[in-house]
Amino acid sequence: MGLILFLIVGALAGWLASRFMNQSQGLLMNVIVGVVGAYIGGFLFGMIGIGATGIIGSLILATVGAVVLLWVLGKVRD
């Protein structure tokens, strides 16, 4: 996946995760959350033996990772 596509998927995953977690953030934070979420999702899915293929699979993986990231950050802030 190219860098531009990776950033677009990251931004979309960050936006979806912020909607799932009922939070509001800007475009840059959506990209950061989505990219970090992609790494977290890849790690978590790899631990259970699941891999993502294609853009849809990458988006699902990144969104799950971003939701986990936002959930953990919410718990740390409380």
- Where does residue 72 fall: left (phi above 0), alpha (psi -120 to 50 degrees), or beta otherwise? alpha
Number of domains in the chain: 1
Domain that holds residue 37: 3-77
* pTM of the predicted model over 0.85: yes
Residue 32 CB neighbours (<10 A): 17
**What's the pLDDT tens digit per position in 30-50?**
899 999 999 999 999 999 998
Q: Are 34 and 9 in contact (CB under 8 A)?
A: yes
Per-residue pLDDT of the chain (78 residues; tens, 9 = 90+): 688 988 899 899 999 999 999 888 888 998 999 999 999 999 999 999 988 888 899 999 999 999 999 999 999 987
| Position 14, amino acid | G
Residue with tokens 């259970």: 48
pLDDT of residue 45: 92
